Structure 1
């Protein structure tokens, strides 16, 4: 091997000619075996999803490709004009749900295989039966990538291949610990195959030889398929496009009343406050203040004083002790939260007119602005994956709150916000028809 160390790692990749046009019902394993009867143990087959879809009859008549995309979409991630990035039925986030109008007769579209991992297993099993070889199979499709121009092939289905190479816990050449390195082996194989298959050369299958270590022999258990490479929602830091994220963030803001014991990142709360103070306000004022109760002692001292004031109010109302205990328990959501925030209204800069009508309207204008700030705060917390419950209780004992927390006389508490990691998924909220809340003139 001229110019290459004979002992250096190397592999060979080549495309298979002779596959021909694939039709519904064709046995891909037999077609591949006929095109390359010399396959050996440890080879990896890279199979374009288009021929898998054709063999599995995933062709549909569709005069309107957009309607087909709608049918295959479970979630819109981003939309720019007619271009849609969506999550499809296979859990893949990609353009147009993988619905393809190329290399298929006019008036039809190709859908991705229903279960690409199962498709890969079928091809692998078929090659074992036909040629008696143990190979890996990767079903590939073309993807764009965030922050990168251009397209490449990635793995959407796999069988007999270690799709991920987890290097965490090891060290690099300098002895530094590897704490985040997980290599997408199946995607690297798919891209290597794309270099020889091309996009329009009619070569839908490639073979990689020399990387037998990524192939799992029969009897060692079937490794995870390519589905294991799809990042879950909880770990996806970029789940939504910009405009979609704005709308979804409002829906993420849900009242949470049960929290885990996980500590709350004070930095996340401060970032939420930064979002809060972008709310509109009258007369170029800043009517928001946020008191952060980060110590258990400060939370307990405030809640005990508020409880005593509430009990005194309820006794003056003539409530019996059982009724009082029941009502006081409603405040447990604040006690059980690992973090409390008391938003306050300040009316510095407000105008004074000297008549009740305009002075009342002026204060209400400031209250509305403060409420907008609190809403911003709650939405931003949701964006930080923090649950919250905005409870009105501090508004009913403002003097007590100001005294316990040492707040200025001009700060009016606007409830308390319980903050923490939600102990479970909130219940589904029934959609509301906006028409029920509209009056058009």
Structure 2
């Protein structure tokens, strides 16, 4: 793509378009209202009129329509929902619009915005013989900015991204991460002359013919950041459910700094008496880990033999510990009940012990969630609790450090299976 910026830019509103109805030939309507289209023009078309022409009108209430169009809820505050749609867009209300339609109906985004843009581009070429670019636009909010702007949700004939990486600025500095969202910039320019209030659903942006290609191109889908590259994928609603038990890890190494950041999240958990009862042993030495797991396995087998298990049953049981052996990283959380009150009677001593166990559980949960926020999978395994003396001996821990399981850490070898839905009402009692 030519990187030379336009010397002059004109943005023209296309006026005179009639109300669009289901089944209308949108390319014919635009061609009639904008017969002066030229090669190299870029049309910015409000996605809502494309939806109307394609019959993307649902006879339902707005909330039900949002539910149907949502793949996951990223964040919620009161009635407002930021969601990811089935096409990967993250936006308010899944793009469902209750304006400019009859009461009792709502307007949905096009089923495939890029396909819609390609069809519209082909229809304009057939009628007017011109090579234009087509962008379908919709209004988005921004997480760190007040107000909305239009962005491209569909594209044809316009490369959505201008890649300047490897080039140099006027001072000779190499550009290492500069990807310009050209399609979004052009969509925003088009909105300056159209919009709901003006009643102008189509704009022509002229002067950027160098951005218009012969081929339709990858479409606006190229602007949707892949999940594994999205540093902000987990919205407020996603954080806790993002924690999943992973039992099969890829060979990719784990960044020790990421584990330490997860520990920083862990130690924000609540604890009794203003104490800090959490300790996290990061088993980074392969030799130490091997010796720890070998000696734990020996203790486990000895317990099972005493319990009368057969060799085959022992083999099946002990295979569960393989997740700790094969994970790239291992963390052993420990409870240190400094500051616990030494109650003389059994009832209060048991309650004191329970308070510290709850605090330890909160710390472990924070660790697991912190790891998920770092893009890491984890599995909490209880086995160290059954042989605390072995763990303390191998890891050279003080006598009052109580191992509270072990956490296998790594990158998931594959996407975890969907968690079966649980109705929260089944776990609630109201008095």
Asked if these proteins are the same fold (TM beyond 0.5), I'd say yes
Counterpart of 1:80 (choices 49, 73, 77) is 77
Alignment of 1:244-263 (within 5 A): 244=237, 248-263=238-253
Counterpart of 2:224 (choices 218, 226, 230) is 230
**Post-superposition CA distance 1:258-287 (Å, at most 9, x none):** 111222222222222222222222222222
What does residue 206 of structure 2 align with? 209
What does residue 20 of structure 1 align with? 18
Alignment of 1:62-101 (within 5 A): 62=60, 64-101=61-98
Measure the CA separation in 2 of the matches of 1:74 and 1:433: 19
* Secondary structure, counterpart of 1:249 in structure 2: coil
Alignment of 1:229-378 (within 5 A): 229-242=223-236, 244=237, 248-378=238-368
In 2 relative to 1, CA 66–364 (structure 1 residues): closer, same or farther, beyond 3 Å? closer
**Post-superposition CA distance 1:167-198 (Å, at most 9, x none):** 22322222222221111111111111112224
* Secondary structure, counterpart of 2:241 in structure 1: helix
> Is the Cα contact below 8 Å between 2:378 and 2:408 reproduced in 1?
yes
Measure the CA separation in 2 of the matches of 1:130 and 1:13: 22
In 2 relative to 1, CA 257–59 (structure 1 residues): closer, same or farther, beyond 3 Å? closer
The number of residue pairs the alignment matches comes to: 427
What does residue 3 of structure 1 align with? none
Measure the CA separation in 2 of the matches of 1:79 and 1:318: 53
Q: Report the alpha carbon displacement of residue 109 of structure 1 after superposing the two structures with TM.
A: 3.1
* Secondary structure, counterpart of 2:296 in structure 1: helix
Aligned pair 1:420/2:431, yes or no?
no
* Secondary structure, counterpart of 2:154 in structure 1: strand
Q: CA RMSD in A?
A: 2.4
Measure the CA separation in 2 of the matches of 1:46 and 1:372: 51
What does residue 57 of structure 2 align with? 59
Measure the CA separation in 2 of the matches of 1:249 and 1:12: 45
In 2 relative to 1, CA 353–70 (structure 1 residues): closer, same or farther, beyond 3 Å? closer
Q: Report the alpha carbon displacement of residue 124 of structure 1 after superposing the two structures with TM.
A: 0.9
Q: Report the alpha carbon displacement of residue 36 of structure 1 after superposing the two structures with TM.
A: 2.5
What does residue 35 of structure 2 align with? 37
Worse-matched range after superposition: 106-115 or 416-425: 106-115
The runs of 5 or more residues in structure 1 that have no matched partner are 1-6
What does residue 138 of structure 1 align with? 135
What does residue 179 of structure 1 align with? 176
Q: Report the alpha carbon displacement of residue 47 of structure 1 after superposing the two structures with TM.
A: 1.3
Worse-matched range after superposition: 103-112 or 280-289: 103-112
Counterpart of 2:44 (choices 43, 46, 66) is 46
Measure the CA separation in 2 of the matches of 1:239 and 1:56: 31
Measure the CA separation in 2 of the matches of 1:82 and 1:432: 22
In 2 relative to 1, CA 207–432 (structure 1 residues): closer, same or farther, beyond 3 Å? closer
* Secondary structure, counterpart of 1:84 in structure 2: strand
In 2 relative to 1, CA 344–186 (structure 1 residues): closer, same or farther, beyond 3 Å? same
Counterpart of 1:116 (choices 102, 109, 113) is 113
In 2 relative to 1, CA 393–224 (structure 1 residues): closer, same or farther, beyond 3 Å? same
Counterpart of 2:162 (choices 151, 161, 165) is 165
TM-score calculated relative to the size of structure 1: 0.89
In 2 relative to 1, CA 241–315 (structure 1 residues): closer, same or farther, beyond 3 Å? closer
Measure the CA separation in 2 of the matches of 1:173 and 1:30: 46
> Is the Cα contact below 8 Å between 2:71 and 2:86 reproduced in 1?
yes
**Post-superposition CA distance 1:99-136 (Å, at most 9, x none):** 22333345543322222212211211111111111111
In 2 relative to 1, CA 367–112 (structure 1 residues): closer, same or farther, beyond 3 Å? closer
Measure the CA separation in 1 of the matches of 2:408 and 2:180: 40
Measure the CA separation in 2 of the matches of 1:198 and 1:318: 77
Q: Report the alpha carbon displacement of residue 322 of structure 1 after superposing the two structures with TM.
A: 4.4
Measure the CA separation in 1 of the matches of 2:276 and 2:161: 51
Q: Report the alpha carbon displacement of residue 148 of structure 1 after superposing the two structures with TM.
A: 1.5
What does residue 4 of structure 1 align with? none
* Secondary structure, counterpart of 1:196 in structure 2: coil
Measure the CA separation in 2 of the matches of 1:194 and 1:399: 69
**Post-superposition CA distance 1:306-341 (Å, at most 9, x none):** 223333434444545444444333221111011111
In 2 relative to 1, CA 433–96 (structure 1 residues): closer, same or farther, beyond 3 Å? closer
What does residue 7 of structure 2 align with? 9
The runs of 5 or more residues in structure 2 that have no matched partner are none
Measure the CA separation in 1 of the matches of 2:207 and 2:13: 15
* Secondary structure, counterpart of 1:400 in structure 2: helix
* Secondary structure, counterpart of 1:77 in structure 2: strand
In 2 relative to 1, CA 116–340 (structure 1 residues): closer, same or farther, beyond 3 Å? same
> Is the Cα contact below 8 Å between 2:6 and 2:207 reproduced in 1?
no
